[in-house]
A and B are shown apart, each in its own frame.
Chain A
């Protein structure tokens, strides 16, 4: 069964600090992995997308890494801001049938002043 596990479940950090969120998956055959940011009561917004051949991708203060061999990804947030407080969701898609993407449960990040 395809699974996506994210850790930690929740995280509290001080403004200005860095943090790293983890995503482990068992989806096979693998097509791509995406990280989304979901503000409370809103729909998720895409941060990064990576395919098998990509091992790092940045979007401003967000940097995602992918190790397709160990089936692990991380999202590193640099110099956190209060607006980074949100849920971060890892989504892994197989290379067959887009409707069968697997969503992680998300990591809830709280940035405190």
Chain B
């Protein structure tokens, strides 16, 4: 079945550590996105990529980094510079940069700082 796979489902980070969240899709979609979701709030865009080897900052990129070396993969690194990383992270993809086709979302990764 085609879809987006995020791993791990739960992740715990110690203070000062960098952690990487995985996002893989087999939908042959060009565009991929990372969103952050806090309780009671809407999704906020962290980074997005419309093509391999290219990505753009979203609204809350500080403290995060991404790469897009392969069409299928768009990993997100939460660095120690992100002061409040505890949140639910969602990866999404779309056929291309045209928003009409909508997004396919992964099941999310819940990151907790311990």
Contact = CB atoms under 8 A, between A and B. Distances in A.
Interface residues of A, number: 26
A84 to B, nearest CB: 19
Given A41-B110, A43-B106, A44-B105, A99 B98 contact: no
Interface of B: 4, 6, 31, 33, 35, 40-45, 48, 50, 56, 58, 88, 90, 92, 94, 96-100, 102-108, 110
Interface string A47-73: 001010000000000000000000000
A30 to B, nearest CB: 11
A98 B108 contact: no
Contact of B105 (A45, A51, A105): A45
A83 interface: no
Nearest to B55: A99
Contacts, number: 67
11 contacts: A31-B99, A31-B100, A43-B6, A49-B102, A51-B100, A89-B42, A97-B97, A99-B33, A99-B97, A101-B103, A106-B42
Contacts of A100: 45
Nearest to B94: A98
A103 to B, nearest CB: 4
A46 interface: yes
A87 to B, nearest CB: 10
B42 A101 contact: no
Closest 10 CB pairs of A and B: A43-B105, A93-B99, A98-B99, A99-B48, A103-B42, A105-B42, A103-B43, A98-B97, A46-B102, A44-B105
Contacts of B4: 43
Contacts of B6: 43
A93 B50 CA distance: 16
B62 to A, nearest CB: 17
A105 B43 CA distance: 7
Nearest to A31: B99
